Structure 1
């Protein structure tokens, strides 16, 4: 479970509901910093059990580099509503179609002359990376690049599959409140500010979304060859340690994609939370260098 420092938007950000053709989605939107030359917009997709708040610490450093960032709760995640009795809306293809609708809504702002003008970059963390991959495989044309953060080529590792299985068994007989108490009893990590914000986020998640997306994570096929066939620049970024998709898998995927590769030292599965400043620098460097940097280059974050 990712551990954002707070659920409150960072200074300079707006929290609102993005209206799209497929419904409204809760977002945190941070415009380019005053005095910075606007370079583009990035849509940020969170992972399994995560939310838009997982990107709070990236907004300001990316704004200083000229990038507007829009972090979104997917359907059924935290503050984006989703039904309890309809599993079909959480199928990966449906979540991917939601992403395309979100991008369309951003691109339509002020007829393309407003803050969304310029390249639109897509970034997904963990499960969000696989949703992002599915979106560009439906239609890559709106995107200037795809960044996969701690998101691997196929299903999650056996140890993580076991954790998802245990969660599913718990959700079959327990409420979200009871599952939260069980997670805490097992010694889940807490931040220095306490667990209240994490508990509030957990209880707001739609359990049906967790069931469907969890099954998908355990069965995801390898679609790297399909992705590599697209005319898009790719960036594979991860921490230096990851038990969800081990680093050799991420390294190999980057080679298969001819992708730019960044390893952020001192970070694990959530470099956006663990080491936000070097993560933001690596993202901005990649976006800045599109059309300049040869594909396949690897960087190591400090």
Structure 2
């Protein structure tokens, strides 16, 4: 069930025909961008999209239109404590991976239909955890630039720096520190390519510090659960750019083999093919979902 309360001031203009609302679930409300299939196009399914660390539902904006014209309703959400979805300021236990995975299962139940589940980066690991709890609400799982275990050593150093900084500075002060280090897209700030600096700042300030600290720790300590996932009876898709500093592309190649998954490498894209190359990314996604 969804409420009609609007989500205020989106970071970027929503996709054509999309509705901004709060998805009401048994575990609370989550800010959503919800794009229906246009009139005259046969519906083929529903997709639930989960953003990554420091990201938001807007990271998928450029995918909505090309996917809806292929017949897929797209629902992108902010997770608990991300941007426009509420969450505790300082209770890190609320953001344990198991809690976030249960949120995903509640979101799927609220949408009320079997879903194609998609997660980008951290969102992929949360999606994996949800599927390992209960795969029955899902028709498939797509992992975009989301690896088998913890992030690379260089990214662990950057995440640790952010976590340490959040422990002593406010979100506003951290934003100032990010800008002092360089453009946000170069130093691990909010996703690049979406909105002006003021909009990026508002999105950053919408994140709850406890959420960033807890999920940052998860990124640095996540165990390899590929063997567990491979035992789940779902179709899998591992998609990435041709270059990735967070998980090496060769590691994603190997994970796809272990999962017997479809593997897509999007030319000209890095860690966020959904933003770097949205049209070929959308085409690869829809082709996977269209397959028997």
TM exceeding 0.5: yes
Query: Normalising by structure 2, what TM-score?
Result: 0.92
Deviation at 1:194, TM superposition (A): 3.1
SS at the partner of 2:167?
helix
2:156 to 152, 161, 165: 161
For 1:233 and 1:53, locate their aligned partners in 2 and report how far apart those are by CA, in whole Å.
Answer: 26
- Contact 1:33–1:60 (8 Å) recurs in 2: no
2:211 match: 209
For 1:194 and 1:99, locate their aligned partners in 2 and report how far apart those are by CA, in whole Å.
Answer: 30
Structure 2, unmatched stretches of 5+, are 1-9, 186-191
Once structures 1 and 2 are overlaid, which stretch shifts more, 173-182 or 40-49? 173-182
For 1:212 and 1:244, locate their aligned partners in 2 and report how far apart those are by CA, in whole Å.
Answer: 18
For 1:211 and 1:192, locate their aligned partners in 2 and report how far apart those are by CA, in whole Å.
Answer: 23
Deviation at 1:9, TM superposition (A): 1.2
Aligned length: 276
Q: Which runs of 4+ in 1 moved over 6 A?
A: none
1:187 match: 182
- Contact 2:11–2:203 (8 Å) recurs in 1: no
Deviation at 1:34, TM superposition (A): 2.0
- Contact 1:21–1:101 (8 Å) recurs in 2: yes
Deviation at 1:191, TM superposition (A): 4.8
Say yes or no: does 1:15 pair with 2:10. no
Deviation at 1:6, TM superposition (A): 5.0
Query: Normalising by structure 1, what TM-score?
Result: 0.89
For 2:228 and 2:194, locate their aligned partners in 1 and report how far apart those are by CA, in whole Å.
Answer: 43
- Contact 2:230–2:258 (8 Å) recurs in 1: yes
CA offsets, 1:157-181, max 9 Å, x none? 0000000011011111111111111
- Contact 1:52–1:73 (8 Å) recurs in 2: yes
SS at the partner of 2:46?
strand
Say yes or no: does 1:86 pair with 2:77. no
SS at the partner of 2:43?
coil
2:240 match: 238
RMSD of aligned C-alpha atoms? 1.3
